[in-house]
Amino acid sequence: MTDYKEKKKVGGAEEAKLAADRPPLDQSPLSRGRAAPDSTQGRREALHRLHFTMSAGKVIIYGGRGALGSVVVKHFKANNFWVGTIDLVKNEDADSSVVVSKEDNWATQTTTVIEGLKSCLGDEKVDAIINVAGGWAGGNAASKDFQKSCETMWSQSVWSSTITAQAAALFLKEGGLVSLTGAEPALAGTAGMIGYGMAKAAVHQLTWSLGQENSGLPKGATAVAILPITLDTPMNRKWMSGADFSKWTSLEFVAELFYKWINGKEERPVSGSLVKLITKDNKTDVVKV
């Protein structure tokens, strides 16, 4: 950086004083708020732009900070993908993160996500938008917190899925993939977890609708929902420590399945499909409903 305190041969002390009062280059009014070309931030931004351009592909993971989402993010990063996430908190492994507040309503969360994706993607399109957000709550119609559990399940699964669908309409490439997360038990009644089953059944219906013509998705896009029975997450192991883990689907299997669907190593299901993930003896089969 230029040393503004250096005196010219002509000007003497007055020139030195004026120079001392000038702001450094990276703090001038025109460049304030912008990283200097040789700064750490500037280099980081340059590397980010290079990776965005040179990556093997680009994906957005909704729920990218949860147990499954974190594994999916790491899997795609390991395969040289640019990865963006959407969640209640930032994922440090991702290239870019959009953070939503659980205190915001449905419309506000939608605006936050769409504007956030516009900011990080610009005019670029992505190969896939994958929603692995959600949660679980039990309870039947007689439960004290029945309405609360239904509301929570609806906001976690249905809100995020419809926002994913709208984001796909705007930011997905032609021929891209949008994946939602349903649940195998929600193919039938779920008396002991009504809110959960109701929300997941709505995700199934959304997937069928997105698979039809005039759904708003880009040309040739595939909409699919995975329907796991039980995922092998740390929390599930904590609360169901006596279960048969050999029947649980590993998070790495799900991440690899998404990767294969995107890069063509495994044929995708027909758009609008619900696919069950059935695991037995630690082997998982993908079965179309």
Catalytic residue among 4, 62, 196, 259: 196
Q: How far apart are CA 87 and CA 245, in angstroms?
A: 28
Among 107, 244, 236, 254, smallest CA distance to 181 is for 254
Q: Is 196 in the active site?
A: yes
Q: Are 71 and 81 in contact (CB under 8 A)?
A: no
Closest CA to 4 of 17, 20, 25: 20
> Which two three-digit tokens encode residue 248?
């649980």
Alpha-carbon gap, residue 130 to 248, rounded angstroms: 21
Tell me how far apart the alpha carbons of residues 134 and 132 are, in angstroms, rounded to a whole number. Answer: 7
Query: Which among 199, 184, 197, 212 is positioned nearest to 274, based on CA atoms?
Result: 184
The residues assigned a catalytic role are: 196
